[in-house]
Structure 1
């Protein structure tokens, strides 16, 4: 009988309260181009003259210090950091088990089960934080310190375009064009072009329009009039 009660108690402790993680949150993604339009910029040979990247703005839960969540004899540690939102339902908010920069995680020193997320009640009076598992179970504890905020992360994921300054010979400058997809160069979409500045100080390539103010074999000074992704007016 005692053995049966012990097994039942262990099962109760392990099961906790169940709530499946929701993955219904979509961060806002916008394109950020460098440099800003109509700003005098100096770039050196081999460096990017024009480039663009994706800026992802997302909701996060922020833990200012390492936070311990205990459940009887089990214990988990949430490293200090910002953890991105995964989704929500009527009662809860769900966040990832790894921080935005990947340096902070939810970890345990005495439990083999690997956490897959963080669950927080929308009832702010509880300040309850739960550790969620693939089994649909959670370990929860109240009165924890955390806050919500938005963070922006620049990513090179997706389709990217760059113009690279390759130097000057006589009145001609050489500009390299490169395309990237998920940080992988696409050689078939790479090219070099020459422009004769004695004919025009304005150069164009795939929608990017640049006014060259000064060019040497070491650097180029210019203004970007329109970028690859500048809307047509």
Structure 2
């Protein structure tokens, strides 16, 4: 930071206004994802997923397109996850998804605890003393981003090839990104009896197959689609 910034800071501090405590009760939205779509012709090779179902978490982020070189704080570009709200306005973390944090001069500047937007293209920093320390113009947007929830169970069916008129399907469950051995199973289906196969509620119509690939349509996923809210613990 430049010396001129520090000189300007004393003028800035005289104009700060008090801010009540942030309410850390933001609820991220979690929903079930089901791949592929119902009744669409698909093709999978040996080892590929035929059916994949789990949960994804959608969370609000403040995304800055460039560095904000401020008087009291420097805010790196990137996406900052929402952590709470105050008077209906969202507040965001001071560390982005790349692990970069808001930069300040310890001993001279209050440590930042949150970011928020005051108006279009204006980003504000809330400090540990709960004062609106500084607001800066910048190119930014508030958006929702989704990621798979590795803490939930993910269910999959995998094509494992064929022998004659029989096809082999592997069922796998994953939790925390790791396979659950107790919930792993290999199943053989006789296409001479029926071209409709099922496992744990899922139903698949087999259209064609050989020892390398399979064409199919998903008739039903493991579970019906639903969505609900997850409420994190109040800090």
Quick check: TM above 0.5? yes
1:137 Cα deviation after fit: 4.8
Match of 1:24 in 2: 25
Corresponding residue to 1:221 among 206, 209, 215: 215
Q: Which runs of 5+ in 1 are unaligned?
A: 1-8
Match of 1:119 in 2: 115
Q: TM-score, normalised by structure 1?
A: 0.78
CA distance in 2, matches of 1:103, 1:115: 20
**Structure 1 residues 128 and 79: alpha-carbon distance in aligned structure 2, compared to 1, 3 A threshold:** closer
Q: TM-score, normalised by structure 2?
A: 0.77
1:198 Cα deviation after fit: 0.8
Q: Is the 1:32–1:53 contact (alpha carbons within 8 Å) kept by the matching residues of 2? A: yes
Deviations 1:149-187 (A, max 9, x none): 332313142111000111000100110001111212110
Please say if 1:168 is aligned against 2:162: yes
Match of 2:224 in 1: 230
Please say if 1:94 is aligned against 2:91: yes
Greater length-normalized contact order (CA 8 Å, ≥ 6 residues apart): 2
Please say if 1:186 is aligned against 2:180: yes
- Over the residues paired in the alignment, what is the CA RMSD in angstroms? 3.0
Q: Is the 2:60–2:142 contact (alpha carbons within 8 Å) kept by the matching residues of 1? A: yes
CA distance in 2, matches of 1:115, 1:47: 49
Q: Is the 1:129–1:140 contact (alpha carbons within 8 Å) kept by the matching residues of 2? A: yes
CA distance in 2, matches of 1:202, 1:117: 56
1:84 Cα deviation after fit: 1.8
CA distance in 2, matches of 1:88, 1:154: 22
The count of aligned residue pairs is 211
Match of 1:130 in 2: 125
CA distance in 2, matches of 1:218, 1:53: 26
CA distance in 1, matches of 2:140, 2:23: 20
Q: Which runs of 5+ in 2 are unaligned?
A: 1-9, 226-235
